[in-house]
Amino acid sequence: MKTVRRISQILFLLFFFFLFLAATYPLKIKIPVDLFLRMDPLIALSAMVSARAFVETFIWAIFVVALTIPLGRFFCGWVCPLGTTLDVTSFVFKNKAGKSYPRFKYIKHMILIFLLIGAIFSSQLFWFFDPVALFTRSIALSIWPIITLISSSIFGLAFKLASYPDWLSRVHNLFSSTLLPDQLTFFRMSGWVLLIFLAILVAEFVSRRFWCRYLCPLGALLAFFSKFQIWRRRVASDCTDCAVCQNVCKMDAIKSDFRLTDDVECIQCYDCVKDCSPHVTTINFKGKVQPCKFDLGRRRVLTSAAAGLVSVGILKTNFVGRNQTAALIRPPGSRDEEDFLDRCIRCHECVKVCSTSGRFLQPTFLEAGLEGLWTPVGVARYGYCEFNCTLCTEVCPTDAIHVLDVKTKKKWIIGIAYIDRDRCIPFYKNENCLVCQEHCPTSPKAIELKDEKVLHFDGTERLVKRPYMIEDLCIGCGICETKCPVAGKSAIIITPQNEQRWVD
């Protein structure tokens, strides 16, 4: 069974990566690419608490909860892509089960309560702790760009060395837009995201599954649902007290009496069953169903609830988030800012999929306030919102970005461009340029060129084509800002003026 479990883990991890790579233009795949996020009960809880409503995309998560009730934390042991990554890390480095900190086990439950109380008062921090969101984010913002950078450097070198052979371009075409993006992709914040991810991996050297044992609020939630599980570890009375099981248990779920299990901690990995030399340990459905004992203690509950309230205070009262002038261009179809922040779990599926299209979206740092940390925002100097593209709206698991059809999207206003005449060449230099007008995708164009006779500063008269904005036509896609040939700050800039937000 241990082998079966490993196969399951590997298959789910590969499936995760397959879906991750499938989140690319043209997104023809029938399976939702955010499937893992949709089957995460913690994200479901977060989204539903925020929305104060049932969100139907999370039918998968309900399915997982339904299975957790009889099967316990099988998700952690058999499915979770972060869990598998941790197991692979330990397998590679031959990590031992490591130190045990029994009192730390409560931390994850406290985090869960902390998050829940915060969410009820509309300060959503699930995004930071949810393992599937965290894993998706780490891969999207940090790992994937590194892989693509390496692979495209290899291709670049090979192209140069072998002087552009055709078989190589064929291989290149094969990988382009999956492993190789159309253009190289870089994200802000990728270093910070990577640091957190690495910290979780390094903790694996202290104790195996350190994250899962002590910190993961999803684990805590699944533990809550697995109180009445029937798929349990059972040890026959002729146990020889050899302690092997306790030493191999990566979840520290075996008590000092080796016959007893902390069932809500057990992830049914079958390591103890495999290593039990007298073959007295099994995990099965036989035996009486007794609710597992679990008591967090009143003081801990109150502490974490209070911390949740404090978090509301810290996140909700800071100035920047309330600042109307914050120049944030949100993805098309985004909900009202409050609702958007409540729902966005920073999985960065939208940012990833956008990087294969217009490369518009980037994570924020503090532009949206502490509350809006790492939320997706359009950075038009770097990329732009592709006119015919609706990909980001299609991959959002929590509906923070609502699905738009192409027709609606083409008219959806995310901002308005304005021309900085002090920097715009036809204005300050009296020379023709037009790049912004050429790229403007609306029809008729939101940028119009007017022939003007102007007096140049040397006294001569010149005929120059100058761009003018037609505000009613501009949708704020930002391609003008991206393509503006003026070095540094663009001479045409989009602001969230007139922006539309999705309201149910």
Residue ranges that bind another protein, judged by CB under 8 A? 25-26, 152, 155-157, 159-160, 164, 166, 169-170, 172-173, 176-177, 182-184, 356-359, 386-389, 425, 431-435, 437-439, 441-445, 449, 465, 483-485
> Are the C-beta atoms of 102 and 252 separated by less than 8 Å?
yes
Smallest gap, in angstroms, from Cβ of residue 179 to another protein? 14
CB of 483 to another protein, least distance (A): 6
Q: 10: which 2 tokens?
A: 């590997």
Nearest residue (CB) to another protein, 95 versus 152: 152
* 3-state percent breakdown (helix, strand, coil) of the chain, nearest 5: 50, 10, 40
Which of residues 62 and 434 has its CB atom nearest to another protein in the complex? 434
> Looking at beta carbons only, is 338 or 420 nearer to another protein?
420
175: left (phi over 0), alpha (psi -120 to 50) or beta: alpha
Minimal distance, residue 130 CB to another protein, in Å: 31
To another protein, the closest distance from the beta carbon of 496 in angstroms equals 23
Three-state secondary structure along 439-451?
HCCCCCCCEEEEE
Helix or strand holding residue 352 (H, E): helix 349-354
Kindly tell me the sign of the dihedral angle through the C-alpha atoms of 257, 260, 265, 271: positive
Q: Which of 349, 488, 381 is nearest to 24 (CA)?
A: 349
DSSP characters over 134-152: HHHHHIIIIIHHHHHHHHH
Q: Toward another protein, which CB reaches closer, 329 or 433? A: 433
CB of 156 to another protein, least distance (A): 4
**Pick 321 or 376: Cβ nearer another protein:** 376
CB of 195 to another protein, least distance (A): 29
For residue 207, list its beta bridge partners.
98
| Residue with Cβ nearer another protein (38 or 410) | 410
Other Cβ atoms within 10 Å of 415 Cβ, number: 26
**Residue whose CB is less far from another protein, 268 or 437:** 437
Nearer to another protein, 300 or 445 (CB): 445
Rounded to a whole number of angstroms, the minimum distance from the CB of residue 319 to another protein is 37
Collapsed DSSP state (helix, strand, coil) of residue 334: strand
CB of 377 to another protein, least distance (A): 19
Rg (CA), the chain: 27
Q: Which of 120, 139, 123 is nearest to 131 (CA)?
A: 139
Please say whether the beta carbons of 366 and 320 come within 8 A: yes
| Six-digit token string for 331 | 């993805």
